[in-house]
Amino acid sequence: MKDQILIKATDMFLTLGFKSVTMDDIAAEMGISKKTIYQHYSNKDSLVKEVTLHLFETISCGIDGICAVGKSPIEELFAIKNFVLEHLKNEAASPFYQLNKYYPKIYSTLKKKQFGKMSECVLDNLNRGVQDGLFREDINVEIIGRFYFAGMNSLKDEELFPKNQFNAIEIQEHYLEYHLRGICTEKGKEKLEQLLKTNK
């Protein structure tokens, strides 16, 4: 039952937002009593924390799987973008904007975990891109990696990118292209153009 609650809560939080969904909503959706939820999760904060950890682990495992395939660094970034958007229900902004606003401690913990993952994944991607001649040799990998991470986090800011004005998928696509055009060699740009055509 605990896993079922976690799965349903994850789905509802991502669809409607961490603040918007109440314990009553989850209980009603599952056809169980709120008391049943509290037998497994002492309060909403503990459920939100568990959901964010579950999401992080799921997405991290998926990213590891993509990285293990041995795609080119540019293809890898496109595959990761598609995978993450799919698991976040294509909602890059709203749920995490609410998480940051109403559960700042949980959001801060998640951000630290994400930064650790970025250090491992994005820096490796950048280094391989340079080695393969797809990314410029003169880029500072540490700085560009942090630029990329900072930019990805800014996309979740609903004040910068209001949901009623910007499409989450489109924002992610533009950001990835923006990132790659700044670091690609001519060889990399050719690869990027091919992928942009196939991803449309």
Which residues, other chains included, contact 122 with Cβ-Cβ below 8 Å and sequence gap of 6+? 145, 148, 149
Does residue 144 fall inside a structural domain? yes
Does residue 86 fall inside a structural domain? yes
Query: Is the dihedral angle over the CA atoms 119, 122, 126, 128 positive or is it negative?
Result: positive
Does residue 171 fall inside a structural domain? yes
Residue 158 confidence class, pLDDT cut points 50, 70, 90:
confident
The C-alpha atoms of residue 62 and residue 58 are separated, in whole angstroms, by: 6
Does residue 13 fall inside a structural domain? no
- Element (DSSP H or E) covering residue 167: none
Does residue 80 fall inside a structural domain? yes
Does residue 182 fall inside a structural domain? yes
Does residue 10 fall inside a structural domain? no
What is the CATH classification number for the domain harbouring 124?
1.10.357.10
CB 129 within 8 A of CB 135: yes
Could you tell me the pTM of the whole model? 0.85
Does residue 188 fall inside a structural domain? yes
List, for residues 168-197, the tens digit of each pLDDT value: 888 989 999 999 999 999 999 999 999 998
List, for residues 27-80, the tens digit of each pLDDT value: 999 999 999 999 999 999 999 999 999 999 999 999 999 999 989 999 999 999
The C-alpha atoms of residue 177 and residue 98 are separated, in whole angstroms, by: 27
Q: What is the number of structural domains in the chain? A: 1
Residue 142 belongs to what domain range?
44-198
